[in-house]
Structure 1
Amino acid sequence: MAEDDKNPAREVITDYAQSHFRYFRTADGTVYAQKNGHPVARPIRSQGTSGSHRQELMVGLFDDGHGVFNGTALKEALDLIEALAMKQDVQHVYIRVAPGFDGATWLDLGRHDGQSIRIHPTGWDIVTPDPAEVCWRRTQLTGELPLPAKDTDGKGIDLLLRLCNFATAATESLAIAWLIGCLGPSVPVPAPFLTGPQGAGKSTGGRMLVRIIEGMSGDLRRAPKDEENLTAAVAAGWVTALDNLSYLSPDLSDAMCCIVTGAETVKRALYTDGDVVRARYRRPLLMTGIDVGVIRPDLAERLLPLRLERPTVRRTEAELWAEYEEILPVVLGSLLDLTVKVRAAEADIPTDLRMADFAHLCAQLDAATGFGSLEAYRTSLDDLNDDVIEGDLLAQTVLQHAAALAPGSEERMTSTEWLQCLTHLYSGDDCRSLPKGWPTTGKVLSDRLKRLQPTLAARGVLIDSGRTKEGRYLEMTIPPNAPPHEQEPLI
């Protein structure tokens, strides 16, 4: 062959790549490669251990008899491919769960052949999705799920609950509602907090719930020490499960709120001065622990307490997990059957709860099964409000002051006057010392009361703020139909 007839290596690589792969970009500008007919997409710049496009391109060229190419040729070819892909239409990539066409949703089984679950209004099927409909992104945290069993007649749910140590039937119904919520790509779900005495199987129960969605490789993790590592772990998987929490710092509490309802982080891209990397996430979150201490009000509205009890009969780990792995296809099949049934059920949307989507899901579950999960969810939120109040002396003092007011009354003062009033009420005539964290200025008090507004409103005490010609004020209102307060004096 004449020298002029030889194609440079980069052209050979580029021609092969464009004939065997589809390249596209996401909304943040990341370019992905998708093998023709296969739903899994890989970022072309990834060097991760879960498999990079560079590796699969090199293997494909070698297996098809094109030889081995040096790094320079591969880099030049990928640079050109990346530039050409920027002209393509934007498409989303998804981890584990994705929306589909005609009201369907998808569940990635994590299999090499790309087979996935399509959940549609009339049922569910095991199929390989059209790459134009769904593009899966895989990471080290993407475990493989077994093929779910068909025609289970719901027995998988009973098999699962028999292995878990949930204290009540209401707790079981909330756990099932959360699992169904995890299969929805657009429904934010509260974070289950598995609690109970030592030896109740909280970690084991948490693993069982997680592995229904993430496969047998799914596991619980310790909470990262900083928000950046937590964000990276959340963005790389679907369900984030944190084990054995004993304390929630304000930063970790705020981060958990963002995980449940969704947020975005922006940081400087490596080796650049002005470019940034965006990471958007909203993920199901699960936690375990005996007691996490004081819970902040905004996190309390996003929690789902699931209490466990100590089992009367102990089993070995090997025996327990062998049985769980055996029944997992049946459990997954039953969960998918129930998901289809619940989504088809009609129920009113509760308008008084913050997590309205999950409350609506609970109402649909009740309509489909008669479980009573919505009432259980309301009760759990009431219990969490009690926990918030018991851990906040300021909230207790406000409720003690409100107990002296008649229903329908209003009381308006400046924040400084309120601080003096509440401080005197707490200190009493003996002028006892104020606790650590007590507001020191009117502004601090105003900010604390704003955070406590939902908790106090659940007890029939409305806190509002405004401004007049004289200045800003805080107003406490007791609705006419508010139940009488029975707040005990502070000790």
Structure 2
Amino acid sequence: MPEDEKNPAAREVITDYAQSHFRYFRTVDGMVYAQRNGHPVARPIRSQGTTGSHRQELMVGLFRDGVGVFNGTALKEALDLIEALALTEDVQPVHIRVAPGFDGATWLDLGRDDGKSVRIHPGGWDILIPDPREVCWRRTQLTGELPLPAKDTDGKGIDTLMRLVNFSSAQSEGLALAWLVGCLGPDVPVPAPFLTGPQGAGKSTAGKMLVRIIEGMSGDLRRPPKDEENLITAVAAGWITGLDNLSHLGPDLSDLMCCIVTGAENIKRALFTDGDVVRSRYRRPLLLTGIDVGVIRPDLAERLLPLRLERPRARRTEAELWTEFARDLPVILGSVLDLAVSVRAAQADIPTDLRMADFAHLCAQLDAARSFGALDAYRTSLDDLNDDVIEGDLLAQTVLKHAAGVTPGEEVRMTSAEWLHTLTQLYAGEDFRPLPKGWPTTGKVLSDRLKRLQPTFAARGVQVDWGRTNTARYIALTRQAVAAPAQSAPMF
């Protein structure tokens, strides 16, 4: 029989088998996924990745079920038809590692072949295989396998983790736990922990441990990619991205990290097309390690969570340390899940004075549940970061020096050019000190710099605002008045 007479029958056989054994759907981006009946893991039908494509699992299913072995042309034509039919189906999202569920629950993918996952709900957590219509998992090479978490740990895993990681204070321990609980929430942006400390404090090891609690033993830290596209690709392929041994944060990398923490979207032209585009949406937990990264930009400072480590008193071999961590990981994960349940059940007011209010609320809930003092520690850490920003920015220092001479409550208005002249004279002084590299050269540049520094100034009681009169725009500086202490009532 000629080949063109065999192909129609082959296409029909493949299509009938596929539709009876798999569920096909599309995401909001228009990508079509295949999901084996009763299994929560979905694969894009066009993928040829090393994690296994749908084409490969379809070929294996046809062979093992005795349907037959088909050539590439028949498979391609059948998949083309299936993809076209799936574009008319309902839209459903796919998730990597963490996903929202029904009735306020969230899910954690354990990365197992059998699809077992953890459902975290208001009453506790359970190990289940999720309904495919509630959760669709997307697996990549970065999706490692987690052990089944232990039940009824009584907090032993938290004690074990803190013994393995050399945090220098209880405040850092509380913030690290708040971050881990935040990583189990699919919709709450969390600041990026910046593990810092002296050489030999175990920053990389501690970072790997924190990452592997959520990503499994295959999770690791990596050097930051040299360009934005590669970093976005790496971030989109996993849940937690750990960047190791940072020594410098340039403006581009700093801005990109801000986008990763709070969420953004990248659009580029699809390959081999003239008009189609590919959308990459990302909001992921981020973790950094390093001794010192130099000057920190104000917008990134508001999204960082400094965690300081100290050198251990007694050294242990890598093999001994990781053997103990792998052995205790089920207990550690179980304790973190227990903590997440108790934190979500706790009632606490939402702080309204912090930019990352969701994480601040989580810290307040953690304090209500376990009294770790996380919210005060978070405020202190942000205050320290503001000091770092000011110490690294001569313009910020000059503005605060000028503000110190302003009467509290008084508003000083000048145009951007007038402010530039005033601040330049204040910095240069009577000895005409040369201006530093990067000093603003125009009023517009100064205005842009002040907008970046506005949150830092506000944290130091200096308000900077912009306005317009009938003739010109102006920048207003106000030094906030310090409230007088309340006097006690006289006693008679």
Scaled by the length of structure 1, the TM-score of the pair is 0.97
Q: Which residue of 1 aligns with 2:466?
A: 465
- Hey, what's the Cα distance between the residues in 2 that align with 1:67 and 1:415? 76
Compute the displacement of 1:5 (Å): 10
After superposition, the C-alpha distances for 1:243-294 in whole angstroms (9 at most, x for unaligned) are 0000001000000000000000000001100000001110000000000000
Compute the displacement of 1:99 (Å): 0.3
Supply the AA of the counterpart residue of 1:122.
Answer: G
Is the CA contact (8 Å cut-off) linking 2:7 and 2:74 kept in structure 1?
A: no
Supply the AA of the counterpart residue of 1:200.
Answer: A
Q: How does 1:13-412 map to 2 (within 5 A)?
A: 13-412=14-413
- Hey, what's the Cα distance between the residues in 2 that align with 1:246 and 1:371? 31
- Hey, what's the Cα distance between the residues in 2 that align with 1:69 and 1:155? 54
After superposition, the C-alpha distances for 1:100-146 in whole angstroms (9 at most, x for unaligned) are 00110000000000000000100000000000100000000000000
After superposition, the C-alpha distances for 1:372-422 in whole angstroms (9 at most, x for unaligned) are 000000000000000000000000000000111111111101100000000
Q: Which residue of 2 aligns with 1:442?
A: 443
SS of 1:229's equivalent?
A: helix
- Hey, what's the Cα distance between the residues in 1 that align with 2:347 and 2:396? 39
- Hey, what's the Cα distance between the residues in 2 that align with 1:92 and 1:351? 32
The runs of at least 4 consecutive aligned structure 1 residues that moved more than 6 Å come to 3-6
SS of 1:8's equivalent?
A: helix
- Hey, what's the Cα distance between the residues in 2 that align with 1:125 and 1:346? 23
- Percent identical among aligned pairs is 80
Compute the displacement of 1:12 (Å): 1.1
Compute the displacement of 1:481 (Å): 2.2
Supply the AA of the counterpart residue of 1:215.
Answer: G
After superposition, the C-alpha distances for 1:328-387 in whole angstroms (9 at most, x for unaligned) are 000000111111011000000000000000000000000000110000000000000000
After superposition, the C-alpha distances for 1:222-247 in whole angstroms (9 at most, x for unaligned) are 00000000000000000000000000
- Hey, what's the Cα distance between the residues in 2 that align with 1:208 and 1:202? 10
Supply the AA of the counterpart residue of 1:288.
Answer: T
Is the CA contact (8 Å cut-off) linking 1:11 and 1:77 kept in structure 2?
A: yes
Is the CA contact (8 Å cut-off) linking 2:258 and 2:303 kept in structure 1?
A: yes
Is the CA contact (8 Å cut-off) linking 1:105 and 1:120 kept in structure 2?
A: yes
Cα 1:62–1:430 change in 2 (3 A) is: same
- Hey, what's the Cα distance between the residues in 2 that align with 1:218 and 1:306? 20
SS of 2:307's equivalent?
A: strand
- Hey, what's the Cα distance between the residues in 1 that align with 2:429 and 2:121? 63
SS of 1:266's equivalent?
A: strand
2:428 aligned with 1:427: yes
- Hey, what's the Cα distance between the residues in 2 that align with 1:333 and 1:432? 60
Compute the displacement of 1:475 (Å): 0.6
Compute the displacement of 1:70 (Å): 1.2
- Hey, what's the Cα distance between the residues in 2 that align with 1:219 and 1:211? 7
After superposition, the C-alpha distances for 1:140-166 in whole angstroms (9 at most, x for unaligned) are 000000000001011100000000000
Compute the displacement of 1:77 (Å): 0.6
Is the CA contact (8 Å cut-off) linking 2:97 and 2:239 kept in structure 1?
A: yes
After superposition, the C-alpha distances for 1:27-52 in whole angstroms (9 at most, x for unaligned) are 00000000000000000000111110
SS of 2:362's equivalent?
A: helix
- Hey, what's the Cα distance between the residues in 1 that align with 2:11 and 2:434? 76
Compute the displacement of 1:479 (Å): 1.7
- Hey, what's the Cα distance between the residues in 1 that align with 2:251 and 2:478? 29
- Hey, what's the Cα distance between the residues in 1 that align with 2:132 and 2:84? 21
After superposition, the C-alpha distances for 1:58-83 in whole angstroms (9 at most, x for unaligned) are 11111111222111111101100000
SS of 1:477's equivalent?
A: strand
Compute the displacement of 1:204 (Å): 0.2
Compute the displacement of 1:6 (Å): 9.4
Where does structure 1 lack aligned partners over 5 or more consecutive residues? 484-491
Is the CA contact (8 Å cut-off) linking 1:196 and 1:308 kept in structure 2?
A: yes
SS of 2:79's equivalent?
A: helix
Is the CA contact (8 Å cut-off) linking 2:25 and 2:86 kept in structure 1?
A: yes
Is the CA contact (8 Å cut-off) linking 1:407 and 1:482 kept in structure 2?
A: no
Where does structure 2 lack aligned partners over 5 or more consecutive residues? 485-492
- Hey, what's the Cα distance between the residues in 2 that align with 1:8 and 1:436? 74
- Hey, what's the Cα distance between the residues in 2 that align with 1:243 and 1:83? 43
Cα 1:422–1:111 change in 2 (3 A) is: same
- Hey, what's the Cα distance between the residues in 1 that align with 2:482 and 2:273? 60
- Hey, what's the Cα distance between the residues in 2 that align with 1:66 and 1:150? 44
SS of 1:347's equivalent?
A: coil
Cα 1:5–1:465 change in 2 (3 A) is: closer
